[in-house]
Amino acid sequence: MWSIGNEISEQHSKNGGPMALELAAIIHNLDTTRPLVDANNNPDTSNQIIKSGAVDLVGYNYHQYDWPSFHDRYPGKKFIGSETTSALETRGYYQQPSDSMYYWPYSNEHGKRVPAKMNEDHTVSAYDQVRAPWASSHEESWKPIKKYDFLSGMFIWTGFDYLGEPTPYGWPSRSSYFGIIDLAGFPKDVYYLYQSEWTNKDVLHIFPHWNWNPGDSIDVWAYYNHADEVELFLNDKSLGIKKKQGDDLHILWRVQYEPGTIKAVSRKNGAVVLTKEIHTAGKAAKIALVADRKIITADGEDLSFVTVKITDAAGNLVPNADNLVHFTVNGEAFIAGVDNGSPTSLESFKGSEHKAMNGLALAILQSTEKAGQVTLTATSDGLEKATITITTK
């Protein structure tokens, strides 16, 4: 579809209707195959653009509480969630308890903006429990879209984190927290909510990590599909079977932490579908490198994205590791960029080193125009180094 505007002031101007009709005529003169929409942050019946009839779909930016009654307001019209959600997460950080919802950077109390108490280290919980005050969590957005057939779908703000708009914080935060995927391309946990709802892939994703203090009360979530139930185990002792009820999108166990292994088993008609485990990680001991592609084109443009993992001696990701990693390249490629997904990192995206964030960093290799073998080596003080080979041809 084509959009003629996003949150523009003419929504409530006498010029809004004529301008919308003029823009619609220009677009229809160029392309009659796609419907028109505009994105309205004030989608009430005083909206002059909607009233003009210029658009084929009525776009709602947020206002999720009004979605179920859309046809009461606009009988016979077609709905699209033109901007939704604006939930906030830092990959790999978790705040207990997980069933408390936070509205940051302020809450609306009695019609007034009241500053919210936020984390001094500029972190945001990855449990889908923090959202902008005008917005909704991922689950709050998806549930009504899933429930009501006349709600045609939604655009999520946002798929990826991006530079700028570091809501809910200010400097030194310098990138957004809105993404389903962080700035380095690493999935946040809520990625697996959408994977379980929107794909045919078998999904069982449990979180958080399993490095806490003895006796801590930790909420363990599971996103899953293609199963009737999930059973959770702590060090091989069952913590019970959970099933989604009603419109649930996840299940939760409140667990008293002890080190070891947390394991989830999903079943369908009694048969195991998937099993996932998370182990308590020991001290950071080595680096692991994983390339998304080990063969790339020698055209001077192709890329291989290499995930850098800080692990213990047994290969478990160390969930709080922030080691500085140095990179060297030999062969027909160079480092196009480095990152770790942190919204607060002020390190350069260019260079030959970068710190990890919650155990992960990224190095992007770019080919030259010569075919050959490329070796990437990653080192860090006190850690066993890692090497990976990429072929360009």
Q: What is the 3-state secondary structure (H, E, C) of 36-93?
A: EEEEECCCCCCCHHHHHCCCCEEEEECCHHHCCCHHHHCCCCEEEEEEEECECCCCCC
Active site residue 197: no
Domains in the chain, please, with CATH?
A: 2-61 (no CATH), 199-279 (2.60.40.10), 286-392 (2.60.40.10)
Q: Which residues contact 294 (CB under 8 A, 6 or more apart)?
A: 304, 388, 389, 390, 391
**pLDDT at residue number 108:** 87
**pLDDT at residue number 358:** 98
**What is the bridge-based pairing of β-strands 372-379 and 386-392?**
antiparallel
> Are the CB atoms for 125 and 73 separated by under 8 Å?
no
**pLDDT at residue number 110:** 84
> Are the CB atoms for 322 and 388 separated by under 8 Å?
no
- How many residues would you count in the chain? 393
User: How far is Cα 171 from Cα 345, in angstroms, rounded to an integer?
Assistant: 11
**pLDDT at residue number 1:** 95
Q: Which residues contact 77 (CB under 8 A, 6 or more apart)?
A: 57, 58, 70, 71
**pLDDT at residue number 330:** 97
User: How far is Cα 362 from Cα 240, in angstroms, rounded to an integer?
Assistant: 38
Amino acid, single-letter form, for residue 367: S
Angle 191-198/138-147 helices, nearest 10 degrees?
10
Instruction: Please compute, for residue 295, the number of CA atoms within 13 A of its CA located in the half-sphere on the CB side.
Output: 1
Per-residue pLDDT tens digits for 67-126: 999 999 999 999 999 999 999 999 999 999 999 999 999 988 888 999 999 999 999 999
Amino acid, single-letter form, for residue 70: F
Pull the structure tokens for residue 106: 């302020």
DSSP single-letter state for residue 13: S
Residue 15 burial by Cβ neighbours in a 10 Å radius (0-12, 13-18, 19+): exposed
Residue 310's CB: how many other CB atoms inside 10 A? 28
145-177 in b/e form (b: 16+ CB < 10 A) is beeeeebeebebbbeebeeeebbbbeeebbbbb
CA distances from 237 to 214, 227, 241, 260 (A): 17, 21, 12, 11
Instruction: Specify the 3-state DSSP secondary structure of 333.
Output: strand
> Are the CB atoms for 166 and 173 separated by under 8 Å?
yes
pLDDT, block means (10 residues), the chain with 393 residues: 96 95 97 97 96 97 97 97 98 97 92 94 98 97 98 97 97 97 98 98 98 97 98 98 98 98 98 98 98 98 98 98 98 97 97 97 98 97 98 97
Per-residue pLDDT tens digits for 233-265: 999 999 999 999 999 999 999 999 999 999 999
Active-site option among 10, 83, 89, 140? 83
Q: Pick from 137, 132, 121, 126: which is nearest to 91 by CA? A: 126
- Please provide residue 332's backbone torsions phi and psi, each rounded to the nearest 5 degrees: -90, 65
Pull the structure tokens for residue 370: 């010569």
Active site residue 165: no
Q: In what side-by-side order are the strands of the sheet with 353-355?
A: 295-296, 386-392, 372-379, 324-331, 353-355
